[in-house]
Structure 1
Amino acid sequence: MIRVSCTMFLVVVEFLWLLRVSRADSQVSCIFMERCILPCSFHGSSEPVVHWFKTEGKLHVHSYYGDQDQLVIQHQRFRSRTSLFKDQVYRGNASLQLTEVNVQDEGRYQCYTSTISGNTEMFIILNVDAPVRKVDLQQVGQRITCSSEGIYPKPEITWSTSPSSSITNNKTTVHQTEQQLYNITSSPILPNSDMDLNYSCVVSTRRNRKSATFRQQGLVTESQSETIIHCSPSHTPVTNLIWRFDHSQIILTKTNSQYTVSEEWKQHVKDVSESGSLTLQDLSSDQEGTYTCELADAVEAKITNILVKINEGNSSNVGAIVGVVIAVIVVLGLLVTLLVLRNNQKCFFS
């Protein structure tokens, strides 16, 4: 009878153990360098004991007992970065608050609590994400470069064109920084025959994705006329706008609803529309070159390069033609006047 009871007891203990270890760990996603909370709860009681560990390496993260933090044996990696909600611990909230989360914090954590009612264990998987913040597109010669920095985990980059076309000579490099974040760069070569293609670059991770679209076009304008340069159309409200000249010189910027025009371009910028189109005036050969429009919203950036050529010859020819016409009219007027005077003289003498 005693042997049967012991066997039954062992079976029950083994079953409870299997139940405990088969329970799925909680998953928490934390943003790089931000604050994050690892949840842990237990049946509240007076004088609780709380221990937090990082299971890889058995690192001591945080301890609380005797109604205060106990951090003497806390691992140095977590110094000044951990805290509990002290006014809620006795009510059963042992959640850990971790600040300035970094990639090394990623892993499995154990929350151990003990009260007069018994002991409790919870396991939490902390995943660190450094989402894609920005995608940059830049053209240098015949090569277009798409890049993004400070991403975790390792991102992917994909290209597409509109209309559809094959992308050749594409070179992609991924570099990991000291902070274990990833920088990614990809740069295909633009074929000379495909000036009308739109190139789209998408950088994605498990948390989010962002894209940038590149378009190139040409424009010929007269030096004395107003010129409107259009951005790529956007289907969402534009939050950021930058116009550049020859890829580096800033013409104007827009943040939210505030426009700022650089001093040297104030005489040439007449207007900018809600969609980002730029109206220029009084252009000369000094303003001939590449104009770049960078439109950005929360998800996508659109970059348009417009090669503007200033035709000063036509305006001067028009002026010359007008001058000749005026001169001809004056001469004809004089001839008519002389003929009238001569006829009047003949009539008088007759």
Structure 2
Amino acid sequence: MVQKQSWVAAYLLVIRILLTDANGATEVSCVFMERCILPCSFQIGNETIIWWFKTEGDKLVHLFNYNKEQLEHQDQCFTNRTKLFTDLICRGNASLQLTGVEIQDEGKYNCITHTTRENQESFVNLNINAPVNEVKIDQVDNRITCWSEGIYPKPQLTWSTSPPSNITFLNTTTVQQTKQLLYNISSSLMFSDGLYNVLFICTISTGRTRNRATLRKISLISDPSTGVTIPCTLSSTSLTNFTLLWRFNQCQTIVNQTGMNVTYSVSDEWRQKVVNVSKSGSLMLKDLSAKQEGMYTCKLSNAEEMHTTHIHLRLIKGGHSSTVVIITTVCVSVLIAFAALLICRIYRKWRGKGSALNFNYFV
């Protein structure tokens, strides 16, 4: 038996010297800890032998000989993780199944087949991908933090705002690698007080996958006697597959909704205050008091992105929203400008005709 194995090893060495990488390598991308198929095909014939190697370190991944899989000399990194589709070998299929793929599995693989008809060789480049599944974002005081975990390859994190801002923000980003060779990334952004209605966008990408989270801070003034609608802004995006969560002062859950086609649930302590949740996610409240003043947080998330809106609510009897104040200011300014123009024209008319004022001017 030992003599037979030595003959096989020597024969394999000759084959590997004679064969060349004529067709290049097939690119295969697989998800971390999932099942992966490395393709290999050959011209069918008798006395089939199939070798799979990982070229880095020349590790034996799998061997099929004498019509069965022979794994006595398999590298221990691949123990109980590989198999061939033995029922398809007779059709020229030598593809390898690799389960529970790890970052260490990434690299170049070599498939060698031998039959009485011919010898063949092919290569597969295996790329491992641990996608950016979830990006989280939160705010504490004047610091916004964005983070994600369990990513591969090494991710990049970028900040942006909408609308674009000329303000320079102080940010620090850290990247750490785990024992599994995955990456965790985190970044914090500092901003000044009084910065409202700016959408902060945190994007994390690897070149293969990307995901993002957004945060917006809004100031809202309302009259408690009229009730209030607190917006959960997410423009031009379908909310069908989003999960909705409303919280008060980061500690009380107000509303939870697992999908926009699912009835929302209201916590017991807010049941008498919540009127409705709109299709856009806005929260409608009633019978508010000073106890309900504070920070309201809306989180919309799905498998691809997360959007967070912080709304600081102040209750003032007879209060108006900032939008009304702006409109009123514009209207008053226009009226004042028109009055000034009118007085100027009257004065010029009066000077042209002496001290007698022609009241027909107003007709």
Report TM bin, short chain.
0.7 to 0.9
Structure 2 Cα separation of the partners of residues 83 and 254 of structure 1: 44
Question: What do residues 265-288 of structure 1 show as CA deviations (whole Å, max 9, x unaligned)?
Answer: 222222111111111123222222
Q: Which amino acid aligns with 1:283?
A: L
State the SS of the aligned residue for 1:116: coil
**TM superposition score normalised by structure 1:** 0.80
The SS at the match of 1:180 is: coil
Distance in 2, Cα, partners of 1:18 & 1:191 = 69
1:239-318 equivalences under 5 Å are: 239=241, 240-256=243-259, 257-258=261-262, 259-311=264-316
Deviation per residue, 1:65-93 (Å, 9 max, x gap): 22222111222221221111111011111
Which residue does the alignment assign to 2:179? 178
Measure how far apart 1:39 and its partner are: 0.4
Whether 1:196 and 2:201 are equivalent positions in the alignment is: no
Alpha-carbon spacing, 1:44–1:22, altered in 2? closer, same or farther (3 Å): closer
SS in 2 for 1:188: strand
Percent identity of paired positions between Structure 1 and Structure 2 = 48
2: CA distance, partners of 1:254 / 1:45? 60
Report the more deviating stretch, 295-304 or 87-96.
Answer: 295-304
Q: How many residues align?
A: 298
Q: CA deviation at 1:193?
A: 4.5
- Which residue does the alignment assign to 2:159? 159
Shifted more, 186-195 versus 132-141: the winner is 186-195
Q: Flag structure 2 segments of 5+ consecutive residues without an equivalent.
A: 1-16, 320-363
Deviations 1:15-71 (A, max 9, x none): xx9993353211111111111111000012344211111111122211122222211
| Structure-2 residue corresponding to 1:116 | 116
Q: Which of the pair has more CA radius of gyration?
A: 1
Unaligned runs of 5+ in 1: 1-16, 316-350
**Does 2:29 correspond to 1:26?**
no
**What pairs with 1:77-116 in structure 2 (closer than 5 Å)?**
77-116=77-116
Deviates more, 1:197-206 or 1:58-67: 58-67
Distance 2:82 2:172 in 1: 43
Provide the secondary structure at the position in 2 that maps to 1:21. Answer: coil
Give me the whole-angstrom Cα distance separating, in 2, the residues matched to 1:167 and 1:19.
59
Rounded to whole Å, the distance in 1 between the matches of 2:33 and 2:84 is: 19
Pairwise CA distance, 1:298: 4.5
Label 1:248 to 1:119 Cα distance change in 2 as closer, same or farther (>3 A).
farther
Tell me the distance in 2 between the aligned counterparts of 1:143 and 1:33: 35
Give 1:209's aligned residue.
210
Q: 1:48 maps to which residue?
A: 48
Provide TM-score, normalisation by structure 2. 0.77
For the 8 Å contact 2:294–2:313, the answer to whether it is kept is yes
- C-alpha distance in 2 between matches for 1:288 and 1:245: 9
Two-structure CA RMSD over aligned residues (Å): 2.1
Distance in 1 separating the partners of 2:65 and 2:93: 14
Distance 2:142 2:96 in 1: 52
Q: Deviations over 1:131-177 (max 9, x none)?
A: 11111111011111111111100010111112222332110110111
Q: Provide the C-alpha distance between the structure 2 equivalents of 1:72 and 1:266, rounded to a whole number of angstroms.
A: 66
Q: Go from structure 1 to structure 2 and tell me whether the alpha carbon gap of 1:19 and 1:60 turns closer, same or farther (over 3 Å shift).
A: closer
2:136 matched to 1:136? yes
